[in-house]
Amino acid sequence: MGLLIESDVWEPNQSLYVFILVSCFLSIFCLPQFSANSNRAPTPFDYSVPASFLRFQRSFILLFSLCSVMEGLWSVFGEYEFEQYGVNREQMVLSLCVGYAAALFIGTFLGMLSDLIGQKDVCLIFCILHLFVGMWKRICPHLSVWLASICLSLASSIFSFSFETWMVVEHEKLGHRQDSLNDMFWIMAFTESASFMGSQVIANWLIPSNVETSVLSPSTAAVLLAILSIIFVTHGWKEVSQTAVLKDYAISFKDYMKSFKAYIFGDKQVWLLAWAQACVQFSIAVFWILWAPTIVADGREVRLGLIYPCFLGARMLGSTVFPWFFSGPLSLRTEDCLVYVFIVMGFVLSIVAYDYQEIGVLVALFCLFHACVGLLLPSLARLRTMYIPNELRGGMMSLSLAPANAAILFVLLQRGYYQSIENSTIMAFAALGLFSAAGCLHLLKRLGKQPHQTWHKL
C-alpha cells in the first residue's frame, strides 16, 4: 500500500499583518500624549507647526517615497526577470559580483563628489540611472546583465547616502530645530520600508505573462517614476540660496580633502562610527542574499512573497520606536541603546548560523532583526549629525560602505564560485561584525563627544 504525503505550504498568519499595522499606528499617534517633552518636534500629522517646515517635510518625503519605490522595484522584479530571460545561477552570481565591484570601486567616491557638486545633482544622477535602465529594458529587453547591475548598484550607493545628506543640509539652511531633524530620520526610515512594500505590490500587479511583449511591466513603472522624480527635483524643489556663502568659503577639491583628512581620517570617533555602519550594511546585505535559501532549506515549501512584507513591517515598527527612546518618555543616550541593539542582532544571526530552525522561529527571528534595523538606521543618522560636519557627511557615508561592499564581494566569490564557505559561516561572520559594532559604540560612548567644527574654518 502506497503512502500519500501531502505537501503543506507554510505561510504567515494574517493576524501578523494586522498586529504590525496596529502597533505602528499606536506607536506614532500615542507618542505625543506620553512624551515628557512638551517642545517635541512635530509629526507629519501635526498642523500646529510653521508652514515652512511642513512644506519642506512633505515635499522631501514625497520625493523620497517616489525614489524608494523606484529603488525597491528592481529588488522585487530582478530575480523573476532573470528567470524569464533564462539567466543561470552562475550568471546571477556574476551580476551580483559585478554590481558590488562597481559599488566598491566607483560608489565609494560618489559621496565625496556629492559634497563637492551638491546633493541635488547627485540625486538627479540616481534618477537618471534608473531611467536609463528602465528605458533600455523597454527598448531592448535583453539588456546586458553586467551593465544593468553596474547602473543599479551605483544608484543604490547614491540612495544610501545622498537623500539623507541632502535633507540634513537643507534642514540646516532653513534653520529648523534639532529635534525636528531627529523626527525626519525616523520618518525617512519608516517611509523607505513602506515604499519598498508598495514596490512589491506594484511589481506583482505589473508582472506580465510575457515580459518582452507586454506594455505594462515594472520597467515601465520605473521609467514613469524616474521621469516624475526628475521633474520634481528640477522644477518642483526650491532650494535655499547660498550663493554668498559659497563665495565666502571658496570650496575647492584641495580644501575638501584637507578637511576630510582632518575631520574624518583624523578622528577615531568617526572611524568607530564608520565601522559600525559598515557592519550594519554587511549584515543587511547578507540577510537579503541568504534569507530565502535559509527558510526553504531541506526542501521546505514556503510562500516567500507573503513573508517579505512581514520583514518590512517589522522594520517600520522599529523605526517608530526611535522617538520613544530619544525624544519621548524613555529618553536614552543613543550609544547606550545601540550597544544592546547590536548585541540582539548579533545573537539573532548567531542562532540562525548555528542551526536551521523551524520556519515560524526563523520568521520571528528575522522580524526581530528587521525591527532592530528600523531602530538602528535613524539612530546612526543621529550620531552622524553629532560627530560629522554636514559638508563632509556624504563622503563619510559612502566611504563607510567600502568595507561592507568588499566583504560582500569576497563572500560572493567564495560561496558563489568556489563553494569554499557555507551559508552558516557567512551568517556567523555577519554576527561577529555586529558584535564588533557593539564594541565600537561602547568605545564611542567612553571617548565622549567633542563638538565638530565646520570644515571651511580650517
The x, y and z cell numbers of residue 33, run together, are 500624549
Q: Report yes or no on 28 lying in a domain.
A: no
- Tens digit of each residue's pLDDT (9 = 90 or more) over 355-373: 767 888 899 999 999 999 9
**Phi then psi for 10, rounded to 5 degrees?**
-80, 140
- Tens digit of each residue's pLDDT (9 = 90 or more) over 66-98: 999 999 887 766 666 666 666 677 777 888 899
Q: Which residue has the higher pLDDT, 5 or 410?
A: 410
pLDDT band (50, 70, 90) for residue 49: low
68 vs 193: CA distance, rounded Å: 8
Length of the chain: 458
- Tens digit of each residue's pLDDT (9 = 90 or more) over 421-435: 888 899 999 999 999
Of 191, 215, 237, which one is at a domain's C-terminal end?
Answer: 237
Asked whether residue 400 falls in the same domain as residue 443, the answer is yes
Q: What percent of the chain is predicted at pLDDT more than 70?
A: 80
Q: Report yes or no on 98 lying in a domain.
A: yes
- Tens digit of each residue's pLDDT (9 = 90 or more) over 295-347: 887 777 888 888 999 999 999 999 999 988 876 666 678 888 899 999 999 99
CATH code of residue 358 = 1.20.1250.20
Q: Provide long-range contacts, Cβ within 8 A and 24+ apart, for 443-448.
A: 443/272, 444/269, 444/272, 444/273, 444/276, 444/335, 444/383, 445/333, 445/335, 445/336, 445/339, 447/268, 447/269, 447/272
If one counts every other C-beta atom within 10 angstroms of the C-beta of residue 45, the result is 8
pLDDT over threshold 60, residue 448:
yes
The x, y and z cell numbers of residue 262, run together, are 582632518
User: Mean pLDDT over all residues of the chain?
Assistant: 82
Number of domains in the chain: 2
Q: Report yes or no on 30 lying in a domain.
A: no
pLDDT band (50, 70, 90) for residue 107: very high
Q: Report yes or no on 263 lying in a domain.
A: yes
Q: Report yes or no on 137 lying in a domain.
A: yes
Of 237, 266, 298, which one is at a domain's C-terminal end?
Answer: 237
Which residues form the domain of 285? 248-458
Of 210, 237, 264, which one is at a domain's C-terminal end?
Answer: 237
pLDDT band (50, 70, 90) for residue 165: very high
Sorted by sequence, the CB contacts under 8 Å of residue 388 that are 6+ apart come out as 263, 264, 270, 273, 396, 452
Mean pLDDT of 365-394: 93
Mean pLDDT of 406-432: 89
pLDDT over threshold 70, residue 452:
no
Q: Report yes or no on 69 lying in a domain.
A: yes
Asked whether residue 267 falls in the same domain as residue 407, the answer is yes
Contact (CB, 8 A) for 381 and 396: no
pLDDT over threshold 90, residue 9:
no
Asked whether residue 214 falls in the same domain as residue 267, the answer is no
The string of DSSP letters for 243-298 reads HHHHHHHT--HHHHHHHHIIIIIT-HHHHHHHHHHHHHHHHHHHHHHHHHHHHTGG
Asked whether residue 192 falls in the same domain as residue 290, the answer is no
Q: Which residue has the higher pLDDT, 40 or 353?
A: 353
